[in-house]
């Protein structure tokens, strides 16, 4: 549902028809579970999200609503990846993945990879 179109005011079907007559098409995306907006230093995660796509004159606009939660971005230094890789013999990709799973904890990442 498009916020502001239901409830009080105009019937959503009438509003959709009116928009369509102006060359604006609005569609809901079904099955959306969450939307993640990623910035340089944090992620904004919208759970129980609803997404509407409005298309007008060849341009698409996305309207997203949901329950927002901010999460700081975990930055894994390249030196940490190299250290875990050297200590365990794991590939840099596996070392980075282990560090992410361990929340950046070097010892936990090394133990995780060493126990394989």
Q: Of all helices (H) and strands (E), which one includes residue 110? A: helix 106-114
Q: What's the CA gap between 40 and 19, in Å, rounded?
A: 36
The torsion defined by the Cα of 92, 94, 100 and 106, in degrees rounded to 10, comes to -70
Rg, the chain, Cα only: 22
**In this structure, what token pair is assigned to residue 88?**
């365990």
Chain segment 31-59, per-residue pLDDT in tens = 999 999 999 889 999 999 999 999 999 99
Average pLDDT along the chain: 90
Model pTM greater than 0.75?
no
Across the strands, what pairs with 43? Answer: 38, 71
Domains of the chain are 12-72 (2.20.70.30), 78-114 (1.10.8)
Q: What percent of the chain has pLDDT over 70?
A: 92
């Amino acid at each position: 549902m498009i916020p502001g179109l239901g409830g009080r005011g105009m019937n959503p079907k009438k509003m959709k028809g009116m928009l369509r007559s102006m060359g604006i098409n609005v569609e809901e995306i079904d099955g959306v579970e969450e939307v993640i907006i990623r910035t340089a230093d944090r992620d904004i995660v919208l759970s129980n999200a609803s997404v509407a796509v409005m298309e007008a004159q060849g341009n698409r606009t996305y309207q997203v609503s949901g329950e927002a939660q901010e999460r700081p971005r975990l930055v894994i230094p390249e030196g940490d990846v190299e250290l875990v890789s050297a200590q365990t013999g794991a590939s840099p990709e596996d070392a980075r993945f282990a560090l992410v799973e361990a929340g950046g904890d070097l010892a936990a990442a090394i133990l995780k990879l060493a126990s394989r």
